[in-house]
Amino acid sequence: MNVSALLTSVGINTGLCAVLLLLYSILRKQPSNVHVYFGRRLASKHLAHNDPFCLERFVPSPSWIVKAWKTSEEEILGIGGMDAVVFLRIVVFSIRVFSIAFVICFLLVLPVNYYGNGEIHHKQISSEQMEVFTIENVKEGSRWLWTHCLALYIITCSACILLYFEYKSISQMRLAHITGSPTNPSHFTVLVRAIPWSSKESYSDSVKRFFTNYHASNYLSHQMVYRSGRVQKLMTDAEKMYMVIKAASIEQNCKPSLMQHGLCGQPADSFNILPSEDGSVSGKSVVNMELGKSTKESAAAFVFFKTRYAAVVAAQVLQSSHPMLWVTNLAPEPHDVYWSNLCIPYKQLWIRKIGTLVAAIAFMFVFLIPVTFVQGLTQLDQLQQTFPFLRGLLKKKYMSQLVTGYLPSVVLILALYIVPPIMMLFSAIEGSISRSGRKKSACCKVLYFTIWNVFFVNVFTGSVISQFNVFSSVKDIPTQLAKAVPRQVTFFTTYVLSSGWASLACEVMQIFALFCNLCKRFVLRNKDDSSSGTLSFPYHTEVPRLLLFGFLGFTCSILAPLIVPFLWVYFVLAYFVYRNQILNVYVSKYETGGQFWPIVHNTIIFSLTLSQIIALGVFGIKRSPVASGFTFPLIICTLLFNEYCRQRFLPIFKTNAAEILIEMDRKDEQSGKMEEIHRQLRAAYYQFTVASHETVASHELCKFECLSHGAKKSSPDPKNVKPGNEPRQRNGSQTVHCDVEENRMK
């Protein structure tokens, strides 16, 4: 591939991105797409009025970029939760590191690479091969290799320093998040699994007996988890049907006034609204409980404690002398509970984990087939030999440039689209007790998968498929990587261009949701706005994507500095796009409290170490003992730095400190809020009414909106609105909250 082919690729991608972004800035102004592009705002019930028809709607404008730029981190924290902030921190970190790398590589490394081989007479820049800009062009034994080593040092050191401060600030943010957020029922609740079966008493009685016996002073109450059998499913379905019918009748009253304002979504946080139908919902759950008690109590329960400290103690201490009985964990937040997994017998969990691990690894290898196909496309000669009928087609210069520069990435991207759902499925089978835990687990799986399939398989592609030789030589890996990576740098550069840039444009366009919306409107002729669900942020696909590009950046930057500017552009674009999406599209129903950061940290350390190992191999091949010698201590220091961070920060992400919990308990006790909290606790976790009461809640809200917008007669009864348990809704009353948000928007 030569420079002009690269420029073709750059041109295509820049054009595509520009078109998509312009299209986005128009489409987002269409009222019909409001559910696609403003899901979160709809859910939060505050959206600027849209005039039905005016010219402005069809003029592209950069207003969304300005808005994304101006939003402060506190606002993001309030809107998207801590996970969103952590996610944006990855982007900011990458921009900073690759800015430094950009400067260093273009000042130091690129000139050395270009003029490194004095023998070659340089052609016109546009017909120059890409290899001229890589380290392959530096001749063996060159005295200039210290520049690469220096660049490696600078990049590693700046990355480590930035990482340290990020880790520190995120762990402080996590602590502030725990102390600062409103009362979280999960802090008081322990999930007990593997309750031993006894023929004398029910599970519920066992739980009561055990906890009143051993935790008498702190035990408050408990709530059993029921097996979601057929009867329950039927009942839930029946309830749903009832709600739909009920909703239809409400809608007839609601619709006209709602259409004017363009809002009739469902609230993200049904917990807030629940008590307004307290009687009926708890009535239903009592029915369920009685039904369940007689038939299908499962061996799991939520146990509520009087203080946060007592709960964390009960969760961390080994309860029983049989370690596979009375297993305790801190409960997830009520919205975060993955109910169907709670009924899995605890004994199965370890084998499920092993099973899914094996399945995920097997899947990684099955996936080699499309990757090899992609790899074939970059080597045109080979392709022409295999498929002689393509020879005529590929001889056209434009076609050849398109095929080598663009098509491989497209195929890879399309194949990669099926991965996240499959990994999500694996993580669900694995038995996570929370949705956020499932997403985190899927994130790791997708991450390993992506790095393996995009990087390693592409690098070693020939050998992996034909001989599986990669595994057979541990010692030669640095050398093999050093040989293979520079050759593949061109592919990675185009991958950043095509996959990276395009993925951002697709992300902001929400092509799939847009398509569904269009289908619904024009094919199904369904005009019901409220039925489209809001999306939660797909951390399990976006975190691995960002990390993959960071990984490519670190490993390739000193070998082929040309990749850095494209990456830099990617991260800057990502900054605006993701901020916009967090502000407008995604709803944070549940969150991990920044638990993605340790994964990010480890991946970046891995990227750094691998880039050093590759550099070591390259310096070995280029016969520069000094540079190799200086690289060794860098690897050791990086690993030591990682170990230090692990010791210093990781425990904060695993458990809550006694100090903090005790202080929080004291504050609540002194302010007399404890009684109220204990009363609320008992109602926090509902198993079977989740689907239905969300609908109930949304329609209750609907009703309320109708009343308040239509006549402005009544204000919401403050007693009906609980103090929210979501970080972004810190105000006691919803009307105040809306006002604040609307002020922000102006």
Residue 640 in the binding site for a copy of itself (CB under 8 A) = yes
CB of 650 to a copy of itself, least distance (A): 7
Stretch of 1-9, 138-146, 486-494, 653-661 contacting a copy of itself, by CB under 8 A: 653-661
Number of Cβ within a 10 Å radius of residue 621: 16
Work out how close the CB of 664 gets to a copy of itself at its nearest, in angstroms, rounded to a whole number. Answer: 12
* 211 vs 576 by CB, closer to a copy of itself: 211
Q: What is the footprint of a copy of itself within residues 131-190 (CB under 8 A)?
A: 175
DSSP codes, 433-476: SBHHHHHHHHHHHHHHHHIIIIIIHHHTHHHHHHH--GGG-STT
Choose one: 51-59, 322-330, 436-444, 738-746; the region binding a copy of itself (CB under 8 A): 322-330
Give the single-character DSSP code of 701. H
The residue from 323, 625, 710, 718 that contacts a copy of itself (CB under 8 A) is: 323
Number of helices and strands in the chain (H, E)? 34, 4
Backbone angles phi, psi at 496, to 5 degrees: -60, -45
Under the binding rule (CB under 8 A), the answer on residue 316 touching a copy of itself is: yes
Contact between 313 and a copy of itself per CB under 8 A: yes
- The stretch among 314-322, 424-432, 523-531, 712-720 that binds a copy of itself (CB under 8 A) is 314-322
CB of 440 to a copy of itself, least distance (A): 20
* Cβ nearer to a copy of itself, comparing 217 with 294: 217
How many chain residues bind a copy of itself (CB under 8 A)?
A: 40
As a whole number of Å, the end-to-end CA separation of the chain is 50
H-helix or E-strand containing 300?
A: strand 297-305
Residue 253 near a copy of itself by CB under 8 A: no
Query: Number of C-alpha atoms within 13 angstroms, CB side, residue 689?
Result: 23
- Rule CB under 8 A: say whether 241 interacts with a copy of itself: no
Report the C-alpha gap between 385 and 393 in whole angstroms: 13
Packed helices 596-621 and 73-104: angle between N→C axes, nearest 10 degrees: 0
Report the C-alpha gap between 390 and 403 in whole angstroms. Answer: 11
Q: Which of 350, 365, 512, 632 binds a copy of itself (CB under 8 A)?
A: 350
Among residues 232, 266, 607, 656, the one that binds a copy of itself under rule CB under 8 A:
656
* Closest distance of CB 677 from a copy of itself, Å: 20
Closest by CA position to 471, among listed 550, 365, 356, 370: 365
Radius of gyration in angstroms for the set of CA atoms belonging to the chain, rounded to a whole number: 29
CB neighbour list of residue 103: distance below 8 Å, 6 or more residues apart? none
What is the Cα–Cα distance from 662 to 436, expressed in whole angstroms?
26
Between 471 and 512, whose beta carbon lies closer to a copy of itself?
A: 471
Q: Which is nearer to a copy of itself, 18 or 354 (CB)?
A: 354
C-beta closer to a copy of itself: residue 316 or 720: 316
Query: Residue 391 Cβ, how far from a copy of itself at the closest point, in Å?
Result: 38
Query: Residue 144 or residue 188: which is nearer to a copy of itself going by CB?
Result: 188
The verdict on 643 binding a copy of itself (CB under 8 A) reads yes
Residues in a beta bridge with 224: 301
547: exposed, middle or buried (Cβ count in 10 Å: 0-12, 13-18, 19+): buried
Identify the H or E element spanning 363: helix 346-366
User: Does 246 engage in binding with a copy of itself (CB under 8 A)?
Assistant: no
527/648 with CB nearer a copy of itself: 648
Enumerate residues 281-310 that contact a copy of itself by CB under 8 A.
Answer: none
For residue 176, the minimal CB distance to a copy of itself (Å) is: 10
Query: Phi and psi dihedrals of 459, rounded to 5?
Result: -70, -45
**Identified binder of a copy of itself from the candidate list 286, 393, 658, 691, rule CB under 8 A:** 658
Note whether 416 binds a copy of itself by CB under 8 A: no
Of 159-167, 312-320, 393-401, 579-587: span binding a copy of itself (CB under 8 A): 312-320
Q: CB of 328: closest distance to a copy of itself in angstroms?
A: 9
Regarding 357 and contact with a copy of itself (CB under 8 A), the answer is: no
Q: Which residues of 694-703 are buried (b: 16+ CB within 10 A; e: fewer)?
A: bbbbbbbbbe
CA distance 392 to 724: 66
* Cβ-based nearer residue to a copy of itself, 197 or 242: 197
| Site for a copy of itself contains 650 (CB under 8 A) | yes
The alpha carbon of 411 is separated from its chain's Cα centroid by a whole number of angstroms, namely 23
Q: How many CB atoms lie within 10 A of CB 367?
A: 19
Query: For a copy of itself, which residue of 319, 592, 642, 734 counts as binding (CB under 8 A)?
Result: 319
CA dihedral 266, 269, 273, 275 (to 10 degrees): 140
Candidate ranges 317-325, 554-562, 684-692, 698-706; the one touching a copy of itself (CB under 8 A): 317-325
> Does the footprint of a copy of itself cover residue 474 (CB under 8 A)?
yes
By the rule CB under 8 A, 318 interacts with a copy of itself: yes
Report how far residue 405's alpha carbon sits from residue 427's, in angstroms, rounded to the nearest whole number: 35
Query: CB-wise, 174 or 438, nearer to a copy of itself?
Result: 174
Phi/psi for 226 (5° steps) reads -105, 145
Residues near a copy of itself (CB under 8 A) are 175, 214, 312-313, 316-321, 323-324, 326, 350-351, 354, 468, 471-476, 640, 643-644, 647-652, 654-660, 662
